[in-house]
Amino acid sequence: MYEKFTSLERVCIVLTGGIPDRIPICLLNFQNAARFTGLSVREYCLSGKQMAEAQLAYWDEFHHDIIDIENGVAAMAEAVGCKVEYPENEPPWVAKPAIESLEDINKLPDVDPINSPSLAELIKATKIVSEKLGDTFCIRAESDQGPFSLAAEIIGEEKFLMAILDPNQREKIKKLLSYAEEQIIKFARAQINAGSHYTLIGDSIAGPDVCSPKVYREYAFPYEKSLVERLRKEGLEIGIHICGDTTAIIEDMVETGALYFELDYKVDRGRVRQATNGKITIIGTLDPANLLRRSNPEEIASKVREDIMVLGQNGRYILSPGCTLPYDTPFENVKSLIEAGRQFGWYDEHGRLSIISHKL
């Protein structure tokens, strides 16, 4: 087998519904990339230069198709006024909300991503990687949280979810969600302008592992859909990641019109494939903690093959962990993922997976 396309071409083909030479591979690796280059997660997250250097070194070792730039899910929260803690070797987390009450929404700042330290470092990393590899390798710089999840962090998750249950708070909740959407839009634009080919929001607090599908449909879906549509009018494309089992809301997610979904290992892959029906690309769905962190090469290869067989037969699929690789994921396991993806992920001249056509 030989490669006919650059990584960027390969990813673009998949995202637009075509069949490439092989299935592209994405690695959600910010913590693992820090370890690979001898950095703590804290050091990585606070320096755009070190982020970029770690991602470039990691790519030089593994040569995956999509370079994913992120530093967890707290950068935007910090930009709007939340207090964020940066543990040595764990992802950043929100230690204190930005406001105490929904009455304080008007006190929230209008964020300028370029001049917000937490966002500016991510933008800096995107620029550095883009200048180095942006012509041939796909860069996906994330835009942090989705509107629902950012709104929850701004006032505190428990207080936010309790307010959703109070009909008298409905309009204030929607005002907060609109505010969150506006800030995310600006950061997404900045990441694309810095050289990212696509971007992503994570809206995991809105998912069925935390909220009911009814809550998702009323309070998360409209703002995700609006965000997708507004960016698309500007020629910018975004995907959605929701941790956990999103099977119960996958049909709703399709209606957002997002270019792709990044999905967790918990999903019903058959139902997801049916729901997306060749319209939306799926990225995932390998288990980062139990499989990629703890298993052996044979188990990893078996799961990679299984995911490819279920999700990759008609294109619209990118092989990836379903969520971020833990800091201490063995590098040999990452190599096993890459090798298995390149072993099983080829399409033949008829657009069929080679592992299937070889049996015919």
User: According to the model, what pLDDT value does residue 278 have?
Assistant: 84
User: According to the model, what pLDDT value does residue 356 have?
Assistant: 73
Single pTM value for the model: 0.96
Residues of the chain with pLDDT under 70: 357-360
- Do 102 and 172 form a contact (C-beta atoms < 8 A)? yes
User: According to the model, what pLDDT value does residue 338 have?
Assistant: 98
Task: State the CATH class of domain 7-348.
Answer: alpha beta
What residue type is 32 in one-letter code? Answer: N
Torsion of CA 140, 45, 122, 130, to 10 degrees: -50
Which of 87, 212, 71, 94 lies closest to 151, judged by CA? 94
What residues have CB less than 8 Å from 359, skipping those under 6 apart? none
Each domain of the chain, given as residue ranges in start order, spans 7-348
User: According to the model, what pLDDT value does residue 357 have?
Assistant: 55
Exposure of 67 in the CB half-sphere (CA atoms within 13 A)? 34
- Do 175 and 101 form a contact (C-beta atoms < 8 A)? no
Which residues, listed in sequence order, are joined to residue 286 by a DSSP beta bridge?
A: 321
Q: How far is CA 142 from the centre of its chain?
A: 6
Please state, in angstroms and rounded to a whole number, the distance separating the CA atoms of residues 330 and 80.
36
Helix axes 147-155, 157-164, angle to 10 degrees: 110
Please state, in angstroms and rounded to a whole number, the distance separating the CA atoms of residues 176 and 101.
11
Please state, in angstroms and rounded to a whole number, the distance separating the CA atoms of residues 134 and 128.
9
pLDDT, tens only, 69-97: 999 999 999 999 999 999 999 999 999 99
pLDDT, tens only, 156-214: 999 999 999 999 999 999 999 999 999 999 999 999 999 999 999 999 999 999 999 99
Please state, in angstroms and rounded to a whole number, the distance separating the CA atoms of residues 9 and 101.
48
What residues have CB less than 8 Å from 251, skipping those under 6 apart? 275
Report the greatest alpha carbon distance in the chain: 65
User: According to the model, what pLDDT value does residue 2 have?
Assistant: 81
